[in-house]
Structure 1
Amino acid sequence: MKKVLVVVLAVLLMVTAFGCSSAPAEDTGADASVPAESAAADASDPVEEDSTDGKTLKFGYVTSDMSHEWYQNIVNGAQQRAEELGVELITADAAMDAGKQVTQLENMLTSGVDALLITPVDAKSLATVIQEAEAQGVPVICESNVVEGATTTVGIDSVEGGRKAGEWLAEYATENNIDPKILVVNAPANEDCRERVQGFKEALDESGIQYEIVQEVDGEGSKEKSLEVSADAITAHPEVNVIYGINDNATTGGMAAYKEAGLDESQLVAIGFGFEGVAGRTALLAGGPYKSAVAMFPDFMGQRLIDTAYEIANGGEVEERTWSGTTIITLDNFADFYTEENGEYITNFDAVRALIEE
């Protein structure tokens, strides 16, 4: 009877800690200034039955670069979901250093994590870590980028996302009698970015509309570089009336170059990819050239990472690819996916989850 009472009191103490604490999960290198952009999942979401005999699960997550809003919001979503499930989440930031990431992951394995979550800096550098994790029976869940030997990859279908952007432009151009002269701001060193452009072009070709990609530039995913290379392209091609960027930095950088060139912004249609947070949301809600974006919902992606790791840790099975949803966001449907509360925009996770179930 005394043993039962001790167990009950321990459980109550754990529930109190997770339910009341506002402190972030333990950090072994991540940026402590992560903005509180994302919201917790609906409390009514189903949770898999715990088969870990009361053990507190511990997951380790190493991101590639926490200076980007995308990864900040992924970690926010992951932290919140971990707290809901009673999981201890350790995070670290590799800061685009592949060697540092390997060391961080090895340290997490030594600490006894039940799952490794990785946004890879360099997939090829992770082979030894993957082998060590497999030897210890620790599942490896990668974000977006497929790594050989990992248990699963949580991410979007980048080609399909690009196709959604192309389909939207084809419809918009037809309805508004636009002859698209397109500047593509890419980051071709990244396979996901190449696929976003591939899908975009495929959808435009299949639509049957007349269009021209007047130039494709490498903005390297940064706003500053995207502005620089877009400025040169727009000087050479002032007829540009559509900018398609592989992320919000690429798109808004291209928009800034267009504005600096003194061109008529009312004639420009800008399409983003990612809709990562403040940058994309501000551009869309301003009602200017930024007309649409392929939204990837990073806070939901973080939740998918934790849910996937939790399912595996509890004996569940997952596919090699675990998909996260995307959709085209415009001013017309923004309110279907985001609600403003006290100056912050809260993601409607039920609406995002429905995208996966379609």
Structure 2
Amino acid sequence: MKQLKSVLFASAALTLAALPAQAQNMPKRIGYVTNYATHEWYQNVIKGMQARAKELGIQFEVQDANLDIAKQVAAAEDFMAKGVDVLIVTPVNEEGVVPLLRQAKSNDTPVVLEGNPVKGMTTMVAICDYDTGYFSGVEAGKYAKEKLGGTAKVMNVGLPLLSATVLRSQGFMDGLKTIVPEAVMVHDLDGGGNPDRALEVSAAALAKNADINIIYGINDSSSLGGLQAWKAAGKSQDALLTVGTGGEGLAFINAMEKEPSYRIEAAMFPEKEGYTAIDAAVKLFNGEEVPEHIVSPTAPMIGEDWKKFYDYDASTRSIKWDAVNALKAPEKCMKTAADLK
């Protein structure tokens, strides 16, 4: 843990550049309201938060909204009633969290958002979503030119509810078109961000028109749901490319090891994002100025590139901090949620 701490603080990608712990006042309690705790991404975000909170001697608690905005608001209100010093929130949806931010402000409770922007926020720890999609799209274009005859017909298993995921899909198509200008999006689906819904809508879309050769998912559940629908239809993966986003847990590693078409993953390193969110919470507690968007790095992983960033023993994975911290987060995102309006 001591080594982990030193590596993270040395990282150029950490825009917070936190002061030594003894130079800061530490919040006693931090409450995190996640939107979907059963998801691998959030489980690993939580692990990063727990590790950092333990290092700093902070009591850390989690409540799960389970994709219900009413539950999220109630959980945040409960945390504030219990007197937490800082709230961290992953929004179920952006509009629903706006009143919560106003309530927290009136309660003098600082709030760090994870993953998605909300009007009136102080700060958010998140990747550059458009950039993440864009660079995986560039790699997909290279693959299409080399392996797919230069054609790119995309089934986008998206999530229009969140601006972050819309940006990923837009970025993917824009990056793809830099290499294959005639690339087209055949299906633009709402996969709900979960495997069951992604499978359902993908199966329905493929039943209508299966003339695609690229499956893009805005998270791993989406790409895997799309691929499962393809396989369920009895189709070969020989002329198919599947592109995932997230690197959320073990699922993408298993897919890259076992599925012939699953060749590209836009990794988002949830452990690092969680760790950084705790540092942001400490900064806010001390009244320090922080960027509105604290950028967490991403990287497209092709084939076995994931081994550069993770160790995997068939049941658990551990992040290789030296490799992750060598990645540089961009100073500014190519596009943000404001560009969607």
The TM-score with structure 1 as length reference comes to 0.82
Name the amino acid aligned to 1:168.
E
- Residues 207 and 138 (structure 1), Cα distance of their counterparts in 2 relative to 1, 3 Å cut: same
- Residues 193 and 54 (structure 1), Cα distance of their counterparts in 2 relative to 1, 3 Å cut: closer
Aligned-pair distance for 1:129? 3.5
Aligned-pair distance for 1:67? 2.2
Is residue 201 of structure 2 the alignment partner of residue 229 of structure 1?
yes
Is residue 37 of structure 2 the alignment partner of residue 73 of structure 1?
no
Aligned-pair distance for 1:110? 2.5
Q: What do you get for the CA RMSD once the two structures are aligned?
A: 2.4
Q: Unmatched 5+ residue regions in structure 1?
A: 1-18, 20-39
1:94 to 62, 65, 69: 65
Structure with larger Rg:
1
- 1:146-157 aligned within 5 A: 146-157=117-128
Q: For 1:322 and 1:127, how far apart are their aligned partners in 2?
A: 19
Q: For 1:242 and 1:357, how far apart are their aligned partners in 2?
A: 27
Is residue 177 of structure 2 the alignment partner of residue 214 of structure 1?
no
Q: For 2:312 and 2:48, how far apart are their aligned partners in 1?
A: 17
1:143 to 111, 114, 121: 114
Q: For 1:219 and 1:113, how far apart are their aligned partners in 2?
A: 35
Is residue 78 of structure 2 the alignment partner of residue 103 of structure 1?
no
Q: Are the equivalent residues in 2 in contact too, given 1:193–1:246 (CA < 8 A)?
A: yes
Match for residue 4 of structure 2? 41
Q: Are the equivalent residues in 1 in contact too, given 2:125–2:277 (CA < 8 A)?
A: yes
- Residues 194 and 97 (structure 1), Cα distance of their counterparts in 2 relative to 1, 3 Å cut: same
Match for residue 12 of structure 2? none
Q: For 2:314 and 2:155, how far apart are their aligned partners in 1?
A: 37
Q: For 1:243 and 1:267, how far apart are their aligned partners in 2?
A: 11
- Residues 214 and 123 (structure 1), Cα distance of their counterparts in 2 relative to 1, 3 Å cut: closer
1:322 to 267, 276, 294: 294
The TM-score with structure 2 as length reference comes to 0.86
SS of corresponding position for 2:210: coil
- Residues 271 and 346 (structure 1), Cα distance of their counterparts in 2 relative to 1, 3 Å cut: same
Is residue 160 of structure 2 the alignment partner of residue 197 of structure 1?
no
Aligned-pair distance for 1:207? 2.7
Q: For 1:336 and 1:156, how far apart are their aligned partners in 2?
A: 20
Q: Unmatched 5+ residue regions in structure 2?
A: 10-17, 331-341
Greater relative contact order (Cα < 8 A, sep 6+): 2
Aligned-pair distance for 1:320? 0.5
Name the amino acid aligned to 1:160.
D
Q: Cα deviation per residue 1:275-312 (whole Å; 9 max; x = unaligned)? A: 21122121112152111111111111111111111233
- 1:1-358 aligned within 5 A: 41-46=4-9, 48-50=19-21, 57-176=28-147, 177-340=149-312, 343-357=315-329
Q: Are the equivalent residues in 1 in contact too, given 2:93–2:162 (CA < 8 A)?
A: no
Q: Cα deviation per residue 1:166-188 (whole Å; 9 max; x = unaligned)? A: 10111112233342222111122
Q: Which moved more, 1:205-214 or 1:328-337?
A: 205-214
Aligned-pair distance for 1:219? 1.6
- Residues 236 and 134 (structure 1), Cα distance of their counterparts in 2 relative to 1, 3 Å cut: closer
SS of corresponding position for 1:346: strand
Q: Are the equivalent residues in 2 in contact too, given 1:170–1:209 (CA < 8 A)?
A: no
Q: Are the equivalent residues in 2 in contact too, given 1:152–1:322 (CA < 8 A)?
A: yes
